[in-house]
Amino acid sequence: MTQEANDRSPKPMRALLVQTIPQFETRERAERLAEELERLANSAGLIPVATRFFSLPKAHSGSYLGKGNLETLAAEVLEHEAELVVFNHPLTPVQQRNLEKGLVAKVSDRTGIILEIFSSRAQTREGRLQVELAALLYQQTRLVRTWTHLERQKGGVGLRGGPGETQIEVDRRLIRERIRQLEKKLETVQRTRTLQRRARQEVPFFSAALVGYTNAGKSTLFNRLTGAQVYAEDQLFATLDPTVRRILLPNGDRIILSDTVGFIRDLPHQLVAAFRATLEETLEADLLVHVVDLSDPEWADQEASVLETLRELEVGDKPMLTLYNKADRLPEESGLVARLQGRPNVLTLSAVTGDGIDGLLETLGQESRKSSRMVQMTIPSTEGALLARLCREGRVIERQDDEERIHLTLALSPIAMGRLDPCIREYGVSPTRGGVE
C-alpha cells in the first residue's frame, strides 16, 4: 500500500490498529474491515505498523478491551514504537481516556480518523467550516486531544494537551462558543450557496448526482463522462467538495451531473449533519446514480450502508440508478455481473475501460426525456423575443412556420414548465381547450 505524503504533517505517526472480532463474526470479515481501517489510516497520513485482532464477545465499559487484553496491547505498543492506537470501533470518551492511560499512547477511534482525513482534505471555505464543526461536536463530549490537522486548524482553541479539571471547563466553554460562531458563519456561506443554486436551477436541465461508497469510482466516472479533471485516487475520501458539470448526451440532451463526497460504513452522524448542506445541492438532483465497487468483497454491505445514509439524509426514496462499477476486475466466470444485470434500474460497467458507458449514456438520456413534457404552442411570427426564449428554455422537437404564426412542439423540463406557465396559458395548444385555432 502506498504511503500518502502528507505535506502538512512534519512526521507521520506510527499507528497500531485494533480490530475486534465480536461474537458471530468471522475472522475473514474482521480482516476485511481491518483492511479498510488500514486504508483509512493511510489516507489520514499515518503509518500503520501492525493490526492486532482481539476476539471480544462484549466490549468492557471501562477500557473497552478488558484488563488482560489491555496489558497485551500495551506491550505491543512498546514493541512497535506506536504513538497512536486506532480502534475500528466507536469508543466512549471514558474508554478513550482509560485506554490512553493504560497504553501510554494516543488513542483514536474510527470517527477520529475519518474527521482527520476530512480535515486535511477540505478545500473550500464551506468544507473547512463544516469539518471543524463536525470535529468540535465530536470533541465536545470527550476533550481528548486529537492530533495534527485538527489541532493546527483551530489555532489552539481548546486543544492544548493535558488539561486539568479547570482547563477542561475552559475548553468546554471555548468549544461551545466556537461552535456557535461556526454555525453562524456556515449560515452565511450557505445562504450564498442557495442563491447560486437558484441561479443554476434557472437552467432547465435534468440533473443526476453520483453517490456511493468512498473509492467506488465516482470521480473516475465523472471525469470520463465530463472530460473534467477531478481528483480521483486509490485512497479513501479523495473527493470532499462537490463538483457540478453540464454534459451533452448522444441524444442531444444536456444534463447536469455532480460528483461529491463518498460515504462510508458507520459514517459519524456529526459528519452527516455537518455535510448535509453541501450534500443538499447534490441530493436535490432528479436522479441519484449510485456507484458500487463490485470488485470489493464487501460491496453488498457497502451498498446497504450508502442506502442507509441516504435515508438518514431523507432522500431514500428518490429515483435511483445503480451502477456496479469495476466490472473489469471481476473474473469472467464469477457470474455476478450476469446475475445483477437482471435487476431493474441496474447497469454494470467499468469507468476505467469504458465498458458499459454507452448503456449508461443511453439510460441517462431516457431518464432525462422521461422527466420532460411535450408542449405544443402556436405563437405569432412577430414574437421574436418569445421564440428565442422558448428555444433557450426547451428543446424544439418540431417547428412549422406559416405566414403569421409559428407552430412549435417543445420538450420542457418540469422547471421550465413552471417558468413558462404564463406563456403556455396564452399560446399553448391543448386538446381540452380545443387549441388556439
User: Interface with ligand GTP includes 216 (CB under 6 A)?
Assistant: yes
Which of 43, 52, 108, 90 minimizes the C-alpha distance to 267?
90
Among all residues, whose Cβ is closest to ligand GTP?
A: 262
Which of residues 95, 239, 270, 322 is near ligand GTP by CB under 6 A?
A: 239
Tell me how many helices (H) and strands (E) the chain has: 15, 13
Q: What is the CA radius of gyration of the chain?
A: 26
Min CB(364)–ligand GTP separation in Å: 17
Asked whether position 219 contacts Mg ion by CB under 5 A, the answer is yes
Residue closer to ligand GTP (CB basis): 70 or 257: 257
- The site partner of 220 among Mg ion, ligand GTP, none (C-beta below 5 to 8 Å per kind) is ligand GTP
* Minimum CB–partner distance for residue 192 and ligand GTP (Å): 25
Give the one residue of 233, 280, 284, 301 binding ligand GTP; rule: CB under 6 A: 233
Three-state SS for 261-273 is: CCECCCCCHHHHH
Among Mg ion, ligand GTP, none, partner that 398 touches (CB below 5 to 8 angstroms by kind): none
Stretch that binds ligand GTP, among 10-18, 105-113, 230-238, 411-419 (CB under 6 A): 230-238
Distance CA 375, CA 52 (A): 65
Residue found by looking up cell 485506554 in the block: 99
- Residue among 77 and 236 whose Cβ is closer to Mg ion: 236
Confirm or reject binding of residue 215 to Mg ion (CB under 5 A).
no
Nearer to Mg ion by C-beta: 239 or 302? 239
Cα 296–chain centre separation: 18
Question: Cell match 506506536: residue?
Answer: 82
Question: Judged by CB under 6 A, which stretch of 97-105, 146-154, 304-312, 349-357 contacts ligand GTP?
Answer: 349-357
E strands along 3-158, which residues? 14-21, 47-55, 84-87, 106-109
Partner in contact with 379, chosen from ligand GTP, Mg ion, none, beta carbon below 5 to 8 Å by kind: none
Asked if residue 234 binds ligand GTP (CB under 6 A), the reply is yes
Q: Are 262 and 219 in contact (CB under 8 A)?
A: no
Query: Which grid cell sits at 171?
Result: 475548553
Pattern 261-280, ligand GTP, x by CB under 6 A: -x------------------
270 touches Mg ion by CB under 5 A:
no
- Please count the CA atoms within 13 angstroms of the CA of 325 that sit on its side-chain side: 29
Backbone φ and ψ of 409, nearest 5°: -115, 120
DSSP helix/strand/coil, 343: coil
C-alpha–C-alpha distance, residues 223 and 119, integer Å: 24
- How many residues make contact with ligand GTP (CB under 6 A)? 23
Indicate which single residue of 47, 50, 352, 357 sits in contact with ligand GTP (rule: CB under 6 A). Answer: 352
Tell me the one-letter amino acid at 430.
Answer: S
State the residues that interact with ligand GTP by CB under 6 A. 212, 214-220, 232-234, 236-239, 262, 325-326, 328-329, 350-352
Using CB under 5 A, list all residues that contact Mg ion.
Answer: 218-219, 238-239
